[in-house]
Chains A and B, each alone.
Chain A
Amino acid sequence: MKTHTNVSLTLQNLEKNFSKVQALALSGVSLHFEVGMLHGIIGPEAAGKTTLMRLLAGLLAPSKGTISYSIDGVVASEFETVRPLIAYMPERQSLYADLSIKEHLDFFSKLYELTPSEYKEKQERLLSITRLGGFLERPAGKLSGGMYKKLGLICALLRSPKVLLLDEPTNGVDPISRREFWELLYSLRQENILMLVSTAYMDEAERCSRAHLFQEGKLLFSGIPSELLVKHRAKDFNELFIKQAEQRVC
C-alpha cells in the first residue's frame, strides 16, 4: 500500500430505506468529506448515523444516490478498490472476551498479513499512543469501557487504513476515557486519514474540524463548528438542535 494515498469521499442524494412502510433511514444526503480532517457525524438516536456508517463501509447498499470514493483525486470505479483502505469500528465491537490485548493484536496482524517488522513497529506505536502497553495480558472482557474501545481502535488501525469510520466510539464511557479517546483521534490527524466519527454527544461536535448534523435521517447543517454556532446564533450544539426542533413544532 502506498503511504501517500489520499482518500476523499462524496455523497450525492444518498437515500436508504429498510421497508416501504417505515420512514427513510437516510434521505437526500449530499456531502463531501475532505482528507486530513476530523469529520463528526452528529445526531441523536435514529438520526441515521449508523446507517450512514454502514453504507460507507460497504455493508449496506444505498436505495438511491451515490457514494464516490476518490483515491488521489481519481474516482474509484469499484468499491473493492477502496475496501482494503477502510477500517470500520461499529458501536458494539465484537472483540473476543477471553483473548488478551496482545492476543488480539497478534490475531489481527495475521488477518491483515503484516510482516513481523511491520507488526512490531505498529504495535509499539499504537500501544504507546493508547497507553495500553501496561495491560497486554488483560483479557478484553475485563477491560473498562474506555480501554475496550481503544483496543477496538488499535485493532482497526493495524491495517493502516486511509479511511477510518468510527460509529459512536465514546458512547457509554466516562468523561476521562472520552477525553483520552479524542486525544487519540487528534494524534491521528497528522496521518492523512479520512476520519469520520459519529456521536450522540452534542459537545463532541465542537471537537471536530467539520460537524455534520443529522436528525431523523436528514442532514440539518454541515460546516466548521464555530461558524455554524455563530451563523445560527446558538451558544452550543444542544441549543442549536433545540432551536431547530422548536421551529419544526411551530
Chain B
Amino acid sequence: MLEVRSLSVYFGDFAAVKKVSFKVSKGEIFGLLGANGAGKTTTIRVMCGLLIPTEGEVQIGDTIFGKNNNGNNNNSAELIKSRIGYMSQKFTLYDDLTVEENWKFAASLRNMNNGIYKKRCDYLNQWLSLGDRTKQLVGKLPSGLKQQVALAAALFHNPDIIFLDEPTAGVSPYARMQFWNLIKILASEGKTIIVTTHYMDEAENCERLSLMRAGEIIALDSPEKLKHSTFPHGIWGLAEEKIPPCLREEKTLSMWPCGLNYHMVTHNLAHWEDLKKQHPILANATLVAPTLEDVFLELVEGRSR
C-alpha cells in the first residue's frame, strides 16, 4: 500500500532523515516513534507530498514520487493528496464554527460537490452517532467528541491513508479508548493508519512500530516483539529508596525511574547474579513486564547509563 525506499532528507549539511525504508500494508496501523528531532515529522511531510526528499522515493499504490534513479524530481505527489487524510491534536477545527460548518469547510478545500458532501455528512454523522450535535459550536464540545469530529473532517474525502499526529493528547482515557475503537474499525475496513505520538500507551494500539533516532530507523516490529527483543531477560523493578547508591554508578546496568520504582536491566544474567551477591537487597527486586516507554528509553537513549 505504502512503501518508503531509501529516503534521505538534508537541510544544508544536516541530515534530518537518513536512508529510511519501510512498507506499510493496507489496513495496518503503523506507528512512527522517536525523540524530538528524530526525523518523524520530516518523514511524514515527504509521505504527504509536502517535501521533496534529497534522495529516495515513496510509493502509494501505483504512484511513485520523490527523486528517481537519475536524481530528478518526480512530481506525482499531487496525485496522492486526494488519497491522504491528516489529523492533528493541535489544529484541525475552528472552535467558533459548528461541527457542520467545519465539515463543510473541510469538504470545500477538497472541491467536493454538494451531493457527495451531503452523503458523506450523513454517513459520518451516523458513524459517530452525533445527531443534532452537528449544529453545535465545536468549542462547546467535550474534548473527546472534538477529536472524533476532527477525525471525521480528515475522513471527508474518503482517503485510503490517514495520518494521525498525537491524535488523543490530553483527552480522557475513556474518550481515548472510544477514539481508538473508531480507528480500529477504519483499519478493519482497509484504511491504512500512520500514527506519530509521544504517548506510549497510544503507541500500544499500533500493529507495528518504527523507532527513529537521529534520522534513522533503529527498530521496527510489533509492540510485543519490540519489548521481548529489547528485554529478553525481562526488567527488574525495585523501590527507589532500596537502591544502593553505589549501584547507580554501575556501568553494566541500565536503570531508570518508573512510577515509584526503579527499573533495572542487565543483558548478562550471570552479571546480575554477581550483583545480587554484592548487594543482597537486589534479591527483593521483582520481574516486571516491560512497557513501550522502557523500550523507547532503552533503544533511543542507549545503554550507556
Within 8 Å of chain A (Cβ to Cβ): is B179? Answer: no
Q: Write out the residue numbers on chain A whose beta carbons fall within 8 Å of the beta carbon of B50.
A: none
A177 to B38, CA, bound (A): 13
Q: How far is the CB of B117 from chain A (nearest CB, A)?
A: 30
Partner of B36, one of A43, A144, A183, A226: A144
Question: Closest chain B residue to A170 by CB distance?
Answer: B198
Within 8 Å of chain B (Cβ to Cβ): is A246? Answer: yes
Docked-complex contact A44 and B143, CB < 8 angstroms:
yes
Within 8 Å of chain B (Cβ to Cβ): is A45? Answer: yes
Q: How far is the CB of A19 from chain B (nearest CB, A)?
A: 12
Within 8 Å of chain A (Cβ to Cβ): is B175? Answer: yes
Docked-complex contact B297 and A44, CB < 8 angstroms:
no
Within 8 Å of chain A (Cβ to Cβ): is B186? Answer: no
Question: Closest chain A residue to B90 by CB distance?
Answer: A172
Within 8 Å of chain B (Cβ to Cβ): is A5? Answer: no
Docked-complex contact A225 and B259, CB < 8 angstroms:
yes
Docked-complex contact B142 and A46, CB < 8 angstroms:
yes
Docked-complex contact B174 and A242, CB < 8 angstroms:
yes
Stretch of A28-36, A67-75, A155-163, A196-204 that contacts chain B: A196-204
Docked-complex contact A172 and B174, CB < 8 angstroms:
no
Within 8 A of A (CB), among B277-303: 293, 296-297, 300-301
**Residues of B participating in the A interface, judged by any CB pair closer than 8 Å:** 34-37, 142-143, 166, 169-175, 177, 198-201, 240, 256-260, 293, 296-297, 300-301
Using known A-B contacts A175-B297, A242-B173, A242-B174, determine if residue A203 contacts B260 with beta carbons closer than 8 Å.
Answer: no
Q: Write out the residue numbers on chain B whose beta carbons fall within 8 Å of the beta carbon of A172.
A: 166, 169, 198
Docked-complex contact B174 and A241, CB < 8 angstroms:
yes
A242 to B144, CA, bound (A): 13
Q: Write out the residue numbers on chain A whose beta carbons fall within 8 Å of the beta carbon of B258.
A: 206
Chain A 212-233 per-residue mask, 1 if CB under 8 angstroms from chain B, else 0 = 0001000000000110000000
Within 8 Å of chain B (Cβ to Cβ): is A54? Answer: no
A97 to B201, CA, bound (A): 32
Within 8 A of B (CB), among A136-176: 144-146, 171-176
Docked-complex contact A44 and B257, CB < 8 angstroms:
no
Docked-complex contact A238 and B201, CB < 8 angstroms:
yes
Docked-complex contact A45 and B171, CB < 8 angstroms:
yes
Q: How far is the CB of B255 from chain A (nearest CB, A)?
A: 11
A246 to B199, CA, bound (A): 23
Chain A 176-211 per-residue mask, 1 if CB under 8 angstroms from chain B, else 0 = 111100110010000000000000111100110100
Using known A-B contacts A45-B143, A45-B171, A46-B143, determine if residue A174 contacts B260 with beta carbons closer than 8 Å.
Answer: no
